[in-house]
Amino acid sequence: MQFDGDALTIGLDMSMEEVREFEQFVRPRIEYIETIEVEEGGTLKSSALLALLTSLKRTRPELRIPFLERGTTTSNVYGTLHWICYD
């Protein structure tokens, strides 16, 4: 996880413990974050990360999360993954 100004960059391959730590880090700072970027090439280990990103987007609709908004990713393990997030 890298925090640069108003942009936060995370990896997809977070364990459940790392997702919890990420949530504890980001919730108090949500007003200061404009964009959450996801590093390319990682493998999604848990749907909990998607759920957390969706929750953050609902908490602060102007938050940009291009990965989530794209609605798809490709994994060497799982193939192509799709999701739909409603506002």
pLDDT at 62 over 90: yes
Domain around 74: 2-82
pTM of the model as a whole: 0.85
Q: Is residue 56 part of a domain?
A: yes
Q: pLDDT tens for residues 9-55?
A: 999 889 999 999 999 999 999 999 999 999 887 788 888 999 999 99
Q: Are strands 7-10 and 35-38 parallel, antiparallel or unpaired?
A: parallel
In 3-state terms, what secondary structure has residue 57?
helix
Q: Mean per-residue pLDDT for 43-71? A: 90
Q: How far is CA 72 from CA 27, 50, 64, 69, 81, in A?
A: 25, 11, 16, 8, 5
Q: Indicate the number of domains in the chain.
A: 1
Q: Is residue 87 part of a domain?
A: no
| Encoded tokens for 24 | 């504890």
Q: Is residue 26 part of a domain?
A: yes
